[in-house]
């Protein structure tokens, strides 16, 4: 560590690893992990989300899991929440998961055709 700038660079890099404990994440990505979800492949969806989010180095995202949401035929379900807005994606396979990270989380565009219509 030669200078304060070195320390700042290191801090910025390390912060992403610990920000999960500071609970300041703006976006929550929630994967439904009931028995139905897991049977439909939610574990693979979750793993893909982790891979994709970390390879794109996206910060301030909380990736969590929840139980059955009562729409078992549409599993795996992924909900993305930002502020008061909530978008629910249905039948999210690994390919869709990758697209959701790139288009929704990175570019901020909701992929309407994969979402659950509001009741």
φ, ψ for residue 79, nearest 5 deg: -110, 135
Could you say which residues in the range 56-95 bind other proteins, by CB under 8 A? Answer: 57, 62-67
The angle subtended at Cα 10 by Cα 6 and Cα 13, nearest 5°, is: 145
Could you say which residues in the range 25-44 bind other proteins, by CB under 8 A? Answer: 25, 28, 30-35, 38
Which CB, 46 or 113, lies closer to other proteins?
A: 46
Residues in the interface with other proteins (CB under 8 A) total 38
Integer CA distances (angstroms), 27 to 4, 59, 80, in order: 31, 9, 7
Asked if residues 10 and 1 have their Cβ atoms less than 8 Å apart, the reply is yes
Task: Note the residues at the interface with other proteins (CB under 8 A).
Answer: 1-4, 7-8, 10-11, 13-18, 20-21, 23, 25, 28, 30-35, 38, 46-47, 50, 53-54, 57, 62-67
């Amino acid at each position: 560590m030669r200078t304060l700038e070195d320390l700042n660079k290191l801090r910025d890099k390390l912060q992403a690893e610990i920000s999960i404990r500071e609970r300041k994440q703006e976006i929550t990505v929630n994967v439904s992990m009931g028995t139905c979800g897991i049977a439909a492949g939610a574990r693979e969806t979750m793993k893909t989300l982790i891979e994709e989010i970390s390879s794109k180095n996206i910060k301030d995202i909380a990736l969590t899991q929840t139980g059955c949401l009562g729409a078992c035929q549409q599993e795996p379900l992924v909900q993305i929440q930002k502020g008061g807005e909530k978008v629910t994606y249905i039948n999210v396979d690994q390919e869709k998961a990758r697209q959701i990270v790139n288009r929704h989380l990175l570019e901020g565009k909701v992929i309407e055709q994969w979402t659950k219509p509001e009741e």
